[in-house]
Structure 1
Amino acid sequence: MDLYQHFRKEEYPFIDQVLSWRDEVTTRYERKVIDFLHPREQKIFEMIIGNDEELQLAFFGGWESAERKRAVLAPFYEEINESSFEVELLQAKFPQKFVSIEHPDVLGAFLSAGIKRKKIGDIVIHNDTIQILVAKDITTYLITNVTSVKKAGVIFDRVSMSERMPSQDTWQSRMATCASLRLDVIIKEMYQMSRQQALNVIKKGLVKVNFQAIDQPSFILEEDDLISIRGKGRSRITELHGLTKKDRIRITFEKLL
């Protein structure tokens, strides 16, 4: 059976990468540490590795509900623990009285310093404190080169994982029935807008699925897909329950409050 038929065409390059990692670990008998993956990539990784008795796959993102996680693919006999993922938790303070800092501000500061997105995990901001999980190999560069966020001077330092602040993200779960899994249909339901409004935000390039811009209303969504609309927040399909008696698709989805 062709492995690729189970996935979207735009996911083929990542599938090729996973197969390459699998071959590398199997041939060299050495673990492989993979940079941060978003939920869809994590799911693809798990589906491909499956029940391979010669390998073990583990993920770690710092927080229990972390969205982006690093992966370790290793021979079945190796021990995998937190240190295996080669990550560090960084923290910085900012003058909350004078500036309001949100996730996009922090991410933008990191990307502007030339840091690749795949090297950065989840970001947690609470009151005047920023915490972010990063790949260990960029920590020194990051501390040296990211000294401001949204014009506020900051100093990032390493802190123990035991000092993690609780994630401030709150997801609200709902059930719904839809005529199909087309992007425009799902957006209409999730964001409580008209079909025409859904079409407009898609055609204007305001919609991303799994962090990739999608401008096709007919794009078919799947379980665990993450949807974001600029200015309207994020949502995700958590479970597909099959068809109702009227042949509508019953889904469970979550929206980030």
Structure 2
Amino acid sequence: MSIYNHFRAEEAVLVDQALEWKEAAEQYHKMKLTDFLDPREQQILSVIIGSQSDAAVQFFGAFEQAERKRALIYPSYIQPEPQEFQVETLEISYASKFHTIEHRQVLGALMSLGMKRGKYGDIVLQQERIQLAVAQEVKEYIRLNLQAVGKAAISLSPVSSENILHQQEEWLEKSGTVSSMRLDVLIAEIFNLSRQKVSPLIKNGLVKVNWKVVEQPSYECYAGDAFSVRGYGRGKLLSVDGKSKRDKWRILYGLRK
């Protein structure tokens, strides 16, 4: 069986890259540092590199529970240091007495700089403090060009490791059964919605799977997939635990609190 059978067609490019990076580490003793990857991309790299080879992979995203991380693929005899991931943390300063800044506004301001998403990682907001992880190679560009978020003028300053904010993300685990692994079926179960309500949400581009918009209700999902539904929150398909006596799939999933 081809290794590609274990992944979706749109993931083939990353699979090809991962195989090349693995070979470079094993055969030519080279290291590869990636851009920031979402959890699904991290999972693909972990599967491809494996634990029984002469190559290894580690991930780092600055924050303790970072979602988006850079990957370092390297010969297994090496022990990478944190600085080799070239991740910098910046804090946004603004007049919090007069302005309120939301996560989506920070993300929109970063996107307006014309950089690809892989150059910055998580954005963490706690009360009036905002920090973001960025690739070292674009730190100065961001610092010089990101001067406003929404209507608020801002400035950026580096953050030392001991002053990095701790993310406080909690997930509520639940179990259930579904008739199939279709996207619409899973969204209905995870978010406690009717199939009739779920279908237009998907077709109108309000549902993301692994951080990408999916507009096909019949899209097939797998364990490890992450979902977000605008207006309803985020969920994860943690595991698929076989079929019940009634021929339904038993699943374990998480809902973000």
The question of a shared fold, defined as TM-score above 0.5 by the shorter chain, is answered with yes
Partner Cα separation in structure 1 for residue 99 and residue 154 of structure 2: 12
Secondary structure of the residue aligned to 1:59 is: strand
Return 246-255 or 216-225, whichever deviates more: 246-255
What letter is aligned with 2:80?
I
Tell me how far 1:122 sits from its aligned partner.
0.9
Secondary structure of the residue aligned to 1:222 is: coil
Secondary structure of the residue aligned to 2:172 is: strand
Where does residue 145 of structure 1 map in the other structure?
Answer: 145
What letter is aligned with 2:146?
V
Alignment of 1:231-242 (within 5 A): 231-242=231-242
Partner Cα separation in structure 1 for residue 171 and residue 62 of structure 2: 18
Q: Is the 8 A contact 2:50 2:56 kept in 1?
A: no
Gaps of 5+ in 2: none
State the Cα deviation string for residues 11-44 of structure 1 (Å, max 9, x = none): 1111112122223333431211111111111111
Partner Cα separation in structure 2 for residue 99 and residue 231 of structure 1: 23
Cα distance, 1:217–1:254 mapped onto 2, change above 3 Å: same
Partner Cα separation in structure 2 for residue 245 and residue 102 of structure 1: 47
Where does residue 61 of structure 1 map in the other structure?
Answer: 61
Return 43-52 or 68-77, whichever deviates more: 43-52
Where does residue 203 of structure 1 map in the other structure?
Answer: 203
What letter is aligned with 2:114?
G
User: Could you say what the CA RMSD is over the residues aligned between the two structures, in angstroms?
Assistant: 1.4
Partner Cα separation in structure 2 for residue 15 and residue 166 of structure 1: 32
Tell me how far 1:189 sits from its aligned partner.
0.9
Q: Is the 8 A contact 1:96 1:127 kept in 2?
A: no
Where does residue 185 of structure 2 map in the other structure?
Answer: 185
Cα distance, 1:171–1:96 mapped onto 2, change above 3 Å: farther
Tell me how far 1:177 sits from its aligned partner.
1.4
What letter is aligned with 2:235?
S
Partner Cα separation in structure 2 for residue 62 and residue 241 of structure 1: 33
Tell me how far 1:50 sits from its aligned partner.
1.3
Q: Is the 8 A contact 1:95 1:128 kept in 2?
A: no
Tell me how far 1:234 sits from its aligned partner.
1.5
Alignment of 1:118-157 (within 5 A): 118-157=118-157
Where does residue 43 of structure 1 map in the other structure?
Answer: 43
Tell me how far 1:224 sits from its aligned partner.
1.3
State the Cα deviation string for residues 59-85 of structure 1 (Å, max 9, x = none): 112223211111100111112121121
Partner Cα separation in structure 1 for residue 168 and residue 15 of structure 2: 32
What letter is aligned with 1:90?
L
Tell me how far 1:96 sits from its aligned partner.
2.9
Where does residue 15 of structure 2 map in the other structure?
Answer: 15
What letter is aligned with 1:156?
L
Q: Is the 8 A contact 2:64 2:166 kept in 1?
A: no
Tell me how far 1:97 sits from its aligned partner.
3.1
Partner Cα separation in structure 2 for residue 226 and residue 94 of structure 1: 32
Give the share of equivalent positions with the same residue, in percent: 40
State the Cα deviation string for residues 177-212 of structure 1 (Å, max 9, x = none): 111111000111111111111111111121111122
Partner Cα separation in structure 1 for residue 168 and residue 152 of structure 2: 22
Secondary structure of the residue aligned to 2:223 is: coil
TM-score, normalised to structure 1, is: 0.95
Partner Cα separation in structure 2 for residue 238 and residue 156 of structure 1: 37
What letter is aligned with 1:20?
E
Partner Cα separation in structure 2 for residue 175 and residue 99 of structure 1: 41
Q: Is the 8 A contact 1:124 1:168 kept in 2?
A: no
Q: Is the 8 A contact 2:62 2:88 kept in 1?
A: no
Tell me how far 1:154 sits from its aligned partner.
1.0
Q: When the two structures are aligned, how many residues end up with a matched partner?
A: 257
Where does residue 96 of structure 1 map in the other structure?
Answer: 96
TM-score, normalised to structure 2, is: 0.95
Secondary structure of the residue aligned to 2:155 is: coil
